[in-house]
């Protein structure tokens, strides 16, 4: 695919995701009594990712420290 078409498609998709996330939090999107606030879900997912990244870095540092103690 052409580099410019990839860039344009990526920008269009990013804009669409941002607009859908904003619209789902600004307006009441409900289906069968369930609230579809996609912005809140994305925030929770991001916080979970940051938590697991920090946990994995801590495990990596512990393993590297144990490895250095062996030497």
User: For residue 52, what pLDDT is reported?
Assistant: 92
In tens, the pLDDT along 5-63 reads 888 888 899 888 888 888 877 777 667 776 777 788 888 888 999 999 999 999 998 88
Structural domain boundaries enclosing 41 = 3-70
Q: Using CA atoms, how far apart are residues 67 and 51, in angstroms rounded to an integer?
A: 24
For residue 29, the tally of other CB atoms under 10 A from its CB is: 14
Total domain count, the chain: 1
- DSSP state letter for 35: E
CB 50 within 8 A of CB 56: no
| Alpha-helical runs (H) found in 1-71 | 3-26, 38-70
**Which structure tokens are listed for 53?**
């990244």
Entry pTM? 0.58
User: For residue 4, what pLDDT is reported?
Assistant: 81
Q: Average pLDDT, stretch 58-70?
A: 87
């Amino acid at each position: 695919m052409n580099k410019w078409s990839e860039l344009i498609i990526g920008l269009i998709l990013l804009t669409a995701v941002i607009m859908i996330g904003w619209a789902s939090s600004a307006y009441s999107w409900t289906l069968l009594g369930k609230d579809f606030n996609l912005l809140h879900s994305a925030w929770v997912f991001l916080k979970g990712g940051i938590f697991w990244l920090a946990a994995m870095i801590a495990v990596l540092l512990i393993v590297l420290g144990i490895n250095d103690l062996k030497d």
